[in-house]
């Protein structure tokens, strides 16, 4: 009886681990972006090495890229010179080493964790790595997907392999169904609240149970995306018909008889009944409420109807609240906000945009609130525009941008000003994450949209129920 992790791991062991040496683990898909790759390409160049499997490598640009149309498609230079330089360096590296690059003007460009699935490259049973901690996203397909550092990016470029110890397993069971107005983002925030920001350290999380099975692929990606925020090495969900339906029509998914053969293999991937996990926890999906963070890490989270906890004489907790400008014990609901961001590899997919638009249709965001809606890829942008979502957002007073990491990470020009409160659908509320001094409250697209309309932290169920 094996877990899904064990099955995938064993299939990718080029050399099994011993007491003295880690396993040599084969990588099926290596995603590359402009921020964590330049120093790795430099090592290859210095050592006169080639990229071993350019056919298993795909590069794009997302982190430091601008989202203003004129800077992406011409008419204005990229405002940040160091970003322009990093983008140019990736173009040079990919050309020199023969790596496919979806460049700034490619219609297939997007956030690296959005385009892998969108193209059908993220598949069950694969090992997927990228120099980015949110690589855990691809685990939604029943893949073993994890973030690596730049030295390891170099290892994979040169050898298509990594030296790894097999992580432990941690089953996260979620029973029943999520209630109306409660989304995948609320589910993962509740899980992080339950196990803590280092609860998953050394483990791969496997999300299981009725509530997880009922999720769409896009929702499953939201859940797996934030596995790293619980400290986990990766997160995964067993593939099923939902997975296969999503993948089948994708341009780079297997076709014809190859598709049939693969699906048959993939059906054998889920953890065997009775397989043992190193740890297990169970949550009741029905009892989860819309969640929102109040502090400076994703584990500082509360149901939106709840209160910021009372102080316990903990200096770190007090420091976090001082940074956020909140008082211990006060309700989080109705806190005034300045900025709303909808986007990122966590919540920048079409269903997220539809959810936000469902509340914003015919409404206007509150006076004084700035709202940015940034699709996760150029394909999502096009699909959203075909449905008229861009018009709904613009009419509501929001800005509609080109795809990229944008306000999730203060390094591309899209920042939250110091001291301002931002309700953000992204994944990290660390100090300064959205810009120096920025105060981030992580929430779902529904909560973000509802809060934009009211100009204060708002339970989306108040608007959904009329």
Partner 1 sequence: MDPIRQIRSRTAVLPFTNIDTDQIIPARFLRTTTREGLGKQLFADWRYLPDGSPKPDFALNQPAAVGCQVLVAGRNLGCGSSREHAPWALLDHGFRAVISSEIADIFRNNSLKNGLVPVVVDESTADWLLKNPGVEVTIDLDSTQLRLPDGRAVQFPIEPFARYCLLNGVDELGYLVSQQPVISAYERTHA
254 binds partner 1 (CB under 8 A): no
Contact call for residue 6 and partner 1 (CB under 8 A): no
Which two tokens mark 5?
Answer: 């992790």
- CA 152 to chain centroid, in Å, comes to 20
Q: Give least dist CB 420 to partner 1, A.
A: 15
Comparison of 49 and 281: residue with beta carbon closer to partner 1: 49
Q: Is 237 in the site for partner 1 (CB under 8 A)?
A: no
Q: Where are the alpha helices (DSSP H) in 296-399?
A: 315-324, 344-347, 350-360, 378-386, 389-395
Token readout for 247 is 């993948």
Binding characters for partner 1, 352-381, by CB under 8 A (x = yes): ------------------------------
Nearer to partner 1 by Cβ, of 24 and 383: the residue is 24
Q: Does 33 bind partner 1 (CB under 8 A)?
A: no
Residues 233, 435 contacting (CB under 8 angstroms)? no
Task: Return the residue of 163, 328, 383, 417 that touches partner 1, per CB under 8 A.
Answer: 163
Check residue 85 for interaction with partner 1 (CB under 8 A).
yes
| 172 within 8 A of 206, measured Cβ to Cβ | yes
Q: What share of the chain is helix, strand, coil (3-state, %, to 5)?
A: 40, 20, 45
Across 356-370, b (16+ Cβ under 10 Å) vs e yields bbbbbeebebbeebb
Compute the residue count for the chain. 466
3-state secondary structure of 92: helix
**Of 14-22, 251-259, 262-270, 335-343: span binding partner 1 (CB under 8 A):** 14-22
Binding piece for partner 1, criterion CB under 8 A, among 66-74, 83-91, 253-261, 364-372:
83-91
From the CB of 252, what's the least distance to partner 1, in Å?
Answer: 17
Query: For the window 34-53, what string marks contact with partner 1 as x by the rule CB under 8 A?
Result: -xx-xx--xx---x-x--x-
Measure Cα distances from 259 to 224, 256, 455 in Å. Answer: 25, 5, 49
For residue 209, report the phi and psi dihedrals to the nearest 5 degrees. 100, 170
Query: What is the size of the binding site for partner 1 (CB under 8 A)?
Result: 65
Close Cβ partners of 394 (under 8 Å, ≥ 6 residues apart): 400
Q: Quick one: which of 105, 165, 364, 394 contacts partner 1 (CB under 8 A)?
A: 165
CB of 154 to partner 1, least distance (A): 7
Residue in 16, 77, 107, 198 binding partner 1, rule: CB under 8 A = 198
SS3 226: helix
As measured in angstroms, the least distance from the Cβ of 431 to partner 1 is: 6
6 to 12, 66, 207: CA distances (angstroms): 10, 41, 15
Classified as helix, coil or strand, 220 is helix
Distances (CA, A) of 189 to 194, 352, 427, 457: 9, 16, 9, 16
Residue 39 or 260: the one with the smaller Cβ distance to partner 1 is 39
CB of 365 to partner 1, least distance (A): 26
If one asks whether residue 264 binds partner 1 (CB under 8 A), the answer comes out as no
**Residue 152 interacting with partner 1 (CB under 8 A):** yes
Residue 274 C-beta: closest distance to partner 1, Å: 28
Annotate each residue in 87-126 with x if it binds partner 1 (CB under 8 A) or - if it does not, as one string.
Answer: --x-------------------------------------
Candidate segments 194-202, 247-255, 274-282, 385-393, binder of partner 1 by CB under 8 A? 194-202
Beta strands in 71-175 (DSSP E): 100-102, 127-130, 144-147, 161-164, 168-175
Which residue's structure tokens are 């500082």? Answer: 300
Rounded to 10 deg, the angle between the 38-46 and 150-159 helix axes is: 50
Determine the 3-state secondary structure of 266 from DSSP. helix
Instruction: Report d(CA 357, CA 460) in Å as an integer.
Output: 12
Q: Which of these segments, 109-117, 175-183, 242-250, 432-440, binds partner 1 (CB under 8 A)?
A: 432-440
Q: Does 275 bind partner 1 (CB under 8 A)?
A: no
Binding site for partner 1 (CB under 8 A): 11, 14-15, 19-22, 24, 26, 35-36, 38-39, 42-43, 47, 49, 52, 63-64, 80, 82-83, 85-86, 89, 131-133, 147-152, 154-155, 158-161, 163, 165, 197-198, 201-202, 228, 231, 233, 297, 299, 315-316, 319, 409-411, 418, 428, 430-433, 436
């Amino acid at each position: 009886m094996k877990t899904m992790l064990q099955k995938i791991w064993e299939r990718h062991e080029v050399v099994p681990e011993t007491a003295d040496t880690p396993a040599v683990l084969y990588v099926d898909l290596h995603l590359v972006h402009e921020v964590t790759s330049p120093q790795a390409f430099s090592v290859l160049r210095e050592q006169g090495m080639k990229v071993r499997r350019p056919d298993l490598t795909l590069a794009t640009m997302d982190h430091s890229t601008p989202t203003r149309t004129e800077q992406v498609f011409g008419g204005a230079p990229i405002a940040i010179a160091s970003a322009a330089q990093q983008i140019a360096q990736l173009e040079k590296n990919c050309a020199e080493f023969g790596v496919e690059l979806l460049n700034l003007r490619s219609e297939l460009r997007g956030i690296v964790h959005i385009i892998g699935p969108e193209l059908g490259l993220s598949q069950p049973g694969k090992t997927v790595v990228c120099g980015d901690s949110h690589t855990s996203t691809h685990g939604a397909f029943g893949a073993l997907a994890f973030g690596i550092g730049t030295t390891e990016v170099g290892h994979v470029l040169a050898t298509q392999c990594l030296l790894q110890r097999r992580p432990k397993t941690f089953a996260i069971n979620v029973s029943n169904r999520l209630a109306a107005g409660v989304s995948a983002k609320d589910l993962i925030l509740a899980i992080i609240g339950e196990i803590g920001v280092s609860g998953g350290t050394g483990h791969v999380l496997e999300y299981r149970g009725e509530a997880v099975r009922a999720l769409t692929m896009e929702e499953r990606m939201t859940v797996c995306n934030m596995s790293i925020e619980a400290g986990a090495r990766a997160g995964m969900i067993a593939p099923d018909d939902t997975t296969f339906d999503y993948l089948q029509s994708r341009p780079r998914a297997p076709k014809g008889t190859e598709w049939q053969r693969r699906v048959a293999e993939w059906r054998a991937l889920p953890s065997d009944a009775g397989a043992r996990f190193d740890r297990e926890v169970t949550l009741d999906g029905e009892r989860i409420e819309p969640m929102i963070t109040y502090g400076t890490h994703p584990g500082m989270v509360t149901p939106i109807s709840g209160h910021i906890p009372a102080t316990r004489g903990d200096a770190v907790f007090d420091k976090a609240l001082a940074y956020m400008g909140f008082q211990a014990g006060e309700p989080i609901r109705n806190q005034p906000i300045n900025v709303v961001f909808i986007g990122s590899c966590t919540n920048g997919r079409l269903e997220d945009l539809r959810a936000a638009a469902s509340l914003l249709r015919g409404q206007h965001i509150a006076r004084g609130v700035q709202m940015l809606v940034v699709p996760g890829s150029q394909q999502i942008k096009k699909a959203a525009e075909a449905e008229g979502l861009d018009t709904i957002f613009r009419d509501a007073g929001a800005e509609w941008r080109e795809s990229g990491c944008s306000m999730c990470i203060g390094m591309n020009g899209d920042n939250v000003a110091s001291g301002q409160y931002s309700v953000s659908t992204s994944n990290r509320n660390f100090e300064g994450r959205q810009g120096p001094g920025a105060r981030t409250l992580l929430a779902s697209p529904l909560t973000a949209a509802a809060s934009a309309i009211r100009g204060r932290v708002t339970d989306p169920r108040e608007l959904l129920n009329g």
